[in-house]
Every structure is written in C-alpha cells, then in structure tokens.
Structure 1
Amino acid sequence: MRIAFYGSSLLSSYWNGAATYYRGLLRDLASRGYTITFFEPDAYNRQQHRDIEPPAWAEVRVYEATEAALHAAIAEAAQADVVVKTSGVGVFDEDLLEGVMMAARPEAIRIFWDVDAPATLADIAAAPDHPMRRALPGLDLVLTYGGGPPVVRAYESFGARCCIPIYNALDPETHHPVPPDPRFAADLAFLGNRLPDREARVDAFFLQAAALLPERQFLIGGNGWDTRPMPPNVRSLGHVYTRDHNAFNVTALAVLNIARDSMAAVGYSPATRVFEAAGAGACLITDAWTGLELFLKEGEEVLVARDGRDVAQQLAALTPERAKAIGAAAQARILAGHTYAHRGVEVDAILRRERARARSVPA
C-alpha cells in the first residue's frame, strides 16, 4: 500500500518532538512493504536544523509554506492508498486536513493521526465550529500517540468512527547504549523544549530539585531555556540533536521525564524521551501519571516522583549501582514489548483490516 503522510517534519526534530515517533513507525512500515511519501513544510527553520537526510525507506517532499505549494502537495494525496494528516503540522493545518481528505480516492483509507490528543480535544471541546467536528465523520480512523481510554472516549463522543492509540516506542537501531560523553556530565539531566504547558512542571520537578540539592549538578537541554534564569548548579545546553540523545541519556546518573500539563492530566501518554532513555539503559525518574505501569514498573524499571522534593530525595539516595540496575531493567522491558517493530505490527494489522472492511462495503 502507498501511504501519503502529511506531518510536521521527518527530517528535523527542531521544535518537533514527534520526529522520532514518525521515523520509528514509518521505517518499520516500509520494511513491511509499504511505500511512503512524507510531505513536510519548509517552516520554523527545521530544514536548517536537520537531524537526518532523506532516508532510503521514505520519499520526503519538502514544500514551501505558500498556498500554491500547499495545493500541489495536497493533490498528491490522490495517488495514495492511505492518506494520513497529523496534528501540529504548523502550516495551513485546517486547509491541509480538509484538502487531503477531499483529494483522496474514494477507496483510500483516511486517517487523522494525533500526536497531541489532549490539546486537540481541548480545542475541539472549546469550539462548536472546530474543523475537526466536520472532518471526523469522513475519517476511517483516528490514531493517537497516547491518551489511552480517556482519549478514545473523547474522540468517539465527537463522532470518530474508530480511535486507536499507537503509543510511542523505541527504535533500538537509533537509541541504544553508547559510551558516556563529558559534554553531558551531570547528576540529573532533563531534555525538553520550553513550552507554556510544561514550564510550571519543569519549575516544580527540575528546578526545585536543583535548589534542594545545590551540591549536585543539573543539566537541561532543549529549545527556549536560554532566556530563563537558572540556579548556579544548572547548565543549559540549548537544542540537543537526535544524534546526541544516546550520549545525553547515558552520561548523567539519572535522566528526568516531565510530562506536559495536558499529557499528565489525561495519562497513558509516555513521551518519546521515556523510550529513548530506556533504550540507552539510562536510569529514568519520571513524574507520576496514570498508565505508567503499562510500560515500566515503579521502583524496579523506573523511579517515580510526585514533586520536586521527591525528585531530590530519589536522586540523593541513588547510587551508580542502583541506577545501572534500573536502567538495565527498563531496557529489557521496553525491548521485549515496546519497540517500533511491535507498533508496526499493530498499525499493519489495522490498515489491512481497514482495507478489507472497505472492500466488503457495497459500492
């Protein structure tokens, strides 16, 4: 089957946390015989901050952020068996959603793939005329990268025929143990862009812990933190390219995961960083959220904190030996059940089922 995939970017993770998710899933689907064309706009300086060049397993079409280029990209949807529009493309999102679904052939599978379902659902709930309300009845599937039962129920209440979470996962070919790198030396490291619905939780879980442990060294990576005053024991790196994530994760004694407000409230939304850290064998400390037990076991495969004081206590008590044991246990758990090969099996089965369903429906 030919897939036309309209997303934010496959080539760059710059202000684009979904890049690893797209790469892992689509590379696996390509290995299963799917032909993939990924359409991404030239926007937000992402093409100037590429992590990868166009891969052999997908054709990448970079289009200018203009209406003319948009319409040309939309027209390509007519060539596909599966048409996917993701959330958060960032350029002409409404026009792109309506356009590609209209351009798709009648027998094509139409999918909206939501990589920030809590935010999308909040927007839909707040706007009776939201374009998703019009689009949902015409879609075959809504796939999400998290959210679990609450997100499924919400999408179905808005008219989705079928909503299925396809969770983040690990690509062991790209995220794995490497030697430590002195650039990332720290007791606790956190990687995430500065976003309005994350900053307060970074204050509470990361910066408060740093203030409570002034003798320990803390490291923060991601866009936007350069203008934020930091305690003297916190070092800010700026954007960390995907190629450096393994070294970032393995070098510190522990790495911290902090969900955004909406993701924490809904639960069942493990960030890509959770799987990257586990794949590298890093010791992960995460904020608490519903559904964590589906992926990692508290106390054995991951450490869980309810606030910054918890983070500080976990870190103060953590020995290198225990950190290594937790990281190894997390890596084994994720490799056994949460790789993109596992997710690819799920998506392949879903697409084959949808194709069979469409063929069984009388014209």
Structure 2
Amino acid sequence: MTRSLDIVFLGLSLSSSWGNGHATTYRALIQGLRQDGHRVLFLERDVPWYASQRDLASPDFCELGYYSDIDAVLQLHRDRLRLADAVIVGSYVPDGVALVDKLSTLEPKTLCFYDIDTPVTLAKLDRGDEEYLALRQVPRFDAYLSFSGGEVLALLERRYGARKAAALYCSVDELRYANTGEPHSWDLGYLGTYSPDRQPTLERLLLGPARQLPSMRFVVAGPQYPAEIDWPANIERIEHLAPADHASFYSRQRFTLNVTRRDMIAAGWSPSVRLFEAAACGTPVISDFWRGLDELFPNGEAAIIAQGPADVMAVLTGLDDTSRTAIATAARRRVLGGHTGAARAGELARIISELPASRAYERISA
C-alpha cells in the first residue's frame, strides 16, 4: 500500500447522478480511496440541474463542497490545493479551461486530468472544440488519467503532448452492486441517458427486437429521450433511476444491453460504468462491439456481442438458463477481480506516488 495521500477532485458531479455517469464513477473510486486511508475533497460547480436532483448531498466518505465562482473557490481552498498530493480536474467541468489555467497559477504539487470521456474529448479537440479542455493545456498535467486504455494512451502522449497517459477505467462499488434475488420483470433492459449517436444502436438492438417479440418485456431507463420516439407497447420507460435503485433494476432483467457512443467505439478500450455495474449484479450483458471488449469480457464466456437485432433475438429466445447464468457468473468474477472502486483506488494511488517531483514551474510557463 502507498502512503496516505491528500487528493482534491474538481469534477462534474459527485452529488447528482442525473443525466451523467460521472457521479457513480467518482463515488466508487473515492470510497475505495477512503478505505485505503486517503483523504479526499471533492469540489463541484453548483448548477440548478444537479442541485434539484441530488441523490448524495452529504457523502460520508469524503468532503464535498459546491462553488459558483472559480476565483472564490480557489481562494477559499488555496492552501489545500497547493499542499495536496494531487489536484485532479475532471472532464466536462463547466468553464474547465479557465479553471485549469487558474489552478496552474497556484502551483499545486501534482496536477492531473481525469478524462471520463476520452474519445469524446479528443474528437472535440480535433475539431477545435475546447468546451472544457484546451489543447494547449494537455502538456501541463503531470498525468492524464484516461477512461480509455489501449492505443489511446500512446496517442495522448504522441499526438496531444501528454506527459504521462495512464488508463483509469470506470469502476463499481461491489457492496452496492450485487444481485438482489428479485424475480425477473424484463427480458432485456437498458440504462442510459439519451444520446443521438447511441440511439440508432438502441433502435436496432432493443426497439427492433421488442417489436418482433411482442410477448417479451423490455425496459429503457434514463432521461432526455425525445417525445417523438415511438416506443413499442412492451417497452416500459423509466425517466430517471437513482443509483440506489440500480442493483434492483439490473437484477430484474434476464439480460441487459450495453450501447457505446460512436467516438468510444472508434477509440476502443472504453468500458462504460454501466457495463461494470450490470456485470457486478450478475446480469448477463449483450453489447455492441468495440476493440478491447473481447479481452475484458470474452464473447460467449463473459458477455454476448450482438451485431444486429437477429443476434439479440436469438439470445432472448434460445439461450438456456444454465448458459445465461454461466456468462453472468464469469462477468461478475472479472469485475470483482479487477474493476471495483478499491482496485481502481489502488491504481490511482500508485500512479500519483510514482510521478516525478513537482514540475509546477513548467506548468506556469507552458
């Protein structure tokens, strides 16, 4: 175990899981850090859409602070930010470019970026979209912690100038995500916020099979789906599902669907937090294909890769319970063996502890 660390996160949200997968990712990671004796402060922008949907306003595993003004929050926590072993800025933080610039002037010991959206971030940078990170800022970070692994890490260093790129996949809290033993309510389900580039896959792999299998039951949970979507009668819609209800939701499905955004498919090696959550609950996963999936969850052994609706329907109508259970068990074993918050916390602590001595002066001049 590494020495006890003091870490400050400035992330999208810890308090609210509404419309984002960041909250549960941070929660599992930070709980793992707390279990290992590390100290954590999490700072998030106080915005109305999260303020009205907070499902963890007062965590017991870290300090949580809200801010409305960047200058004010940096002044309030000035000493902590300068003396912490690591300051970690997350992706999609509002006014992230200004935040990183101003943080750099405080000369923190170690400044890192945790990209929970790496393929999306790089695609945005390639087209000059610097919504929350500027291309010029990438070399400033002592470590670029990436939601995506594989060849993306070399690309971050070679093309984008990252000093050190390291994979830090999403993870799951194994104490909260386990099978509840409830009877099945649905044959196939999906949990995810609406995304235009995921919707065609959802149409092919869930809505299509639902129309062809009217006697089976389906469910889609998540906000922001357009009113004009034509949902078949055998699909139940749930607008928002709090993390406390995720384990029950997954446990009540015979199978769950994993759908991947276009940029993440192109990058490969980008497992979503929902994939780990479902597997931890012992629910077999049907997924679209991306490079790296077969190594994390081998096809037919720990997951089922579907190329089209026919594959999904064949599984729903033809896979026996013994095979279904075997796939679910293998996937859960893999998650508990290396994709828990505790495992990820250990990886993060090692990355921070192995970084070179502070190069704050280089960040200021960059």
Quick check: TM above 0.5? yes
Q: Matches of residues 4-23 of structure 1 in structure 2 within 5 Å?
A: 4-23=8-27
Residue 256 (structure 1) aligns with: 257
1:177 corresponds, among 176, 179, 199, to: 179
Q: 1:362 to 1:46 in 2, by over 3 A?
A: closer
2:96 corresponds, among 83, 90, 93, to: 93
Residue 348 (structure 1) aligns with: 349
Q: Which amino acid aligns with 2:316?
A: L
Deviation string for 1:9-65 (max 9, x for gaps)? 11111112111111111121222232111001122521222222322221000123x
Q: Which amino acid aligns with 1:178?
A: T
Q: Which amino acid aligns with 2:182?
A: P
Q: 1:139 to 1:133 in 2, by over 3 A?
A: same
CA contact (8 A) 2:178 2:282 kept: yes
Q: 1:320 to 1:199 in 2, by over 3 A?
A: same
Alpha-carbon distance between aligned partners in 1 of 2:313 and 2:54, rounded to the nearest angstrom: 35
- Secondary structure (helix, strand or coil) at the match of 2:271 reads coil
Deviation string for 1:247-278 (max 9, x for gaps)? 11111111111111111121101111111111
- Secondary structure (helix, strand or coil) at the match of 2:49 reads coil
Report how far residue 310 of structure 1 moved: 1.6
Residue 169 (structure 2) aligns with: 167
Alpha-carbon distance between aligned partners in 2 of 1:129 and 1:188, rounded to the nearest angstrom: 38
Q: Matches of residues 1-363 of structure 1 in structure 2 within 5 Å?
A: 1-64=5-68, 66=69, 69=72, 72=75, 75=78, 77-89=81-93, 91-105=94-108, 108-127=109-128, 132-180=134-182, 185-225=185-225, 227=227, 228-354=229-355, 357-358=356-357
Q: 1:104 to 1:179 in 2, by over 3 A?
A: farther
Number of equivalences: 355
Q: Structure 1 or 2: larger helix share?
A: 1
CA contact (8 A) 1:190 1:219 kept: yes
CA contact (8 A) 2:124 2:130 kept: no
Q: TM-score, normalised by structure 2?
A: 0.90
Q: Which amino acid aligns with 1:157?
A: R
Report how far residue 69 of structure 1 moved: 4.6
Q: 1:181 to 1:61 in 2, by over 3 A?
A: farther
- Secondary structure (helix, strand or coil) at the match of 2:13 reads coil
Q: Which amino acid aligns with 1:21?
A: T
Q: Which amino acid aligns with 1:170?
A: V
Deviation string for 1:305-351 (max 9, x for gaps)? 01222212221213333322221221122212222222222111111
Q: Which amino acid aligns with 2:341?
A: Y
- Secondary structure (helix, strand or coil) at the match of 1:219 reads strand
CA contact (8 A) 1:51 1:241 kept: yes
CA contact (8 A) 1:148 1:267 kept: yes
Larger RCO (CA within 8 A; separation ≥ 6): 2
Alpha-carbon distance between aligned partners in 2 of 1:24 and 1:359, rounded to the nearest angstrom: 28
Report how far residue 78 of structure 1 moved: 2.8
- Secondary structure (helix, strand or coil) at the match of 2:250 reads helix
CA contact (8 A) 1:190 1:256 kept: yes
CA contact (8 A) 2:297 2:331 kept: yes
Alpha-carbon distance between aligned partners in 2 of 1:44 and 1:201, rounded to the nearest angstrom: 31
Q: 1:113 to 1:236 in 2, by over 3 A?
A: same
Alpha-carbon distance between aligned partners in 2 of 1:236 and 1:154, rounded to the nearest angstrom: 39
Q: 1:74 to 1:200 in 2, by over 3 A?
A: farther
Which runs of 5 or more structure 1 residues have no equivalent in the other structure? none
- Secondary structure (helix, strand or coil) at the match of 2:239 reads coil
Q: TM-score, normalised by structure 1?
A: 0.90
CA contact (8 A) 2:190 2:256 kept: yes
Alpha-carbon distance between aligned partners in 2 of 1:139 and 1:270, rounded to the nearest angstrom: 24
Alpha-carbon distance between aligned partners in 2 of 1:171 and 1:241, rounded to the nearest angstrom: 15
Alpha-carbon distance between aligned partners in 1 of 2:261 and 2:70, rounded to the nearest angstrom: 32
CA contact (8 A) 2:116 2:170 kept: no
Q: Which amino acid aligns with 1:34?
A: H
Percent of aligned pairs with the same amino acid: 30
- Secondary structure (helix, strand or coil) at the match of 2:52 reads helix
Alpha-carbon distance between aligned partners in 2 of 1:202 and 1:290, rounded to the nearest angstrom: 19
